[in-house]
Amino acid sequence: MNIISNIEEMQQTALSLKRQGKTVAFVPTMGYLHEGHASLLREGRKRGDILVLSIFVNPIQFGKNEDLDSYPRDRERDCRTAEACGVDIVFTPDSAAMYPPGFQTGVTVRELTLPLCGASRPGHFDGVATVVAKLFSIVQADVALFGRKDYQQLAVIRRMAADLNLPVQVLGMPIIREADGLAMSSRNSYLSPAERQGALCLSRALVRVKERYAAGERSADTLKDVALAAIAQEPLATIDYLELRDGATLEPLQTADNGTILALAVKLGQTRLIDNTLLGEEL
């Protein structure tokens, strides 16, 4: 496994691979890898001749007073996970190289970034779209894999890739959960034992809505109320947003159907967690 930190070296390596006719599968991450990331890497191993993992805590997607400085990092453990999953190249650029003095170009995806996380984290998705566009270009990815836990992020990246005619297939992979249902996240490490237990209200809300939907309920307002009631039972939880939206456009709707997304963001103490499910699919 090769670890590359220099952007120019990564570009030269990627171009050499292209000349050899190699296909590149790419998993971009901010590190502190867990089983969710590992599942992307294992699938990526099947999808390309070369598997590239990037580890970069992207400063421009963090807002003021967010957790950029405290975001969990463990490069040594990440590299062990990468090697176990068959990664060929770990790309680890630094902020000064990614955003040198005078940097002033950004990528904005308009309507898709307005609701949900975009409403509560202004500018976040501009930072995501910009760094992913740069990484796609540097790595020369043929296929890129993202988890569906960050559903809006996945939608934004797909839209960006299509709109900019980027020659990369963007794949969304299933959410990986702990045995008790909590969606895996690097930020779960922030939770106290009581908050970790309280965080189960997110998946509990999703399950209850899916049960009501399976029983025939189609009113978006009624299904939203079911989820709100489930979260309200947890005293440590504060809702950021909880919405049912069209799974393709993220537009609001009155009547739920297969493919409708229930997306929520909930704070446990100082930790903000997100989760979602598509109605009509298994959780």
- Host H or E run for residue 39: helix 35-47
Which residues make Cβ contacts (< 8 Å) with residue 21, sequence separation at least 6?
A: none
Q: DSSP letter string over 208-224? A: HHHHHHHTT--BHHHHH
Q: pLDDT tens track of the chain, all 283 residues?
A: 999 999 999 999 999 999 999 999 999 999 999 999 999 999 999 999 999 999 999 999 999 989 999 999 999 999 999 999 999 999 999 999 999 999 999 999 999 999 999 999 999 999 999 999 999 999 999 999 999 999 999 999 999 999 999 999 999 999 999 999 999 999 999 999 999 999 999 999 999 999 999 999 999 999 999 999 999 999 999 999 999 999 999 999 999 999 999 999 999 999 999 999 999 998 8
- CB neighbours (10 Å) of residue 208? 15
Residues annotated as part of the active site: 37
- pTM for this model (two decimals): 0.96
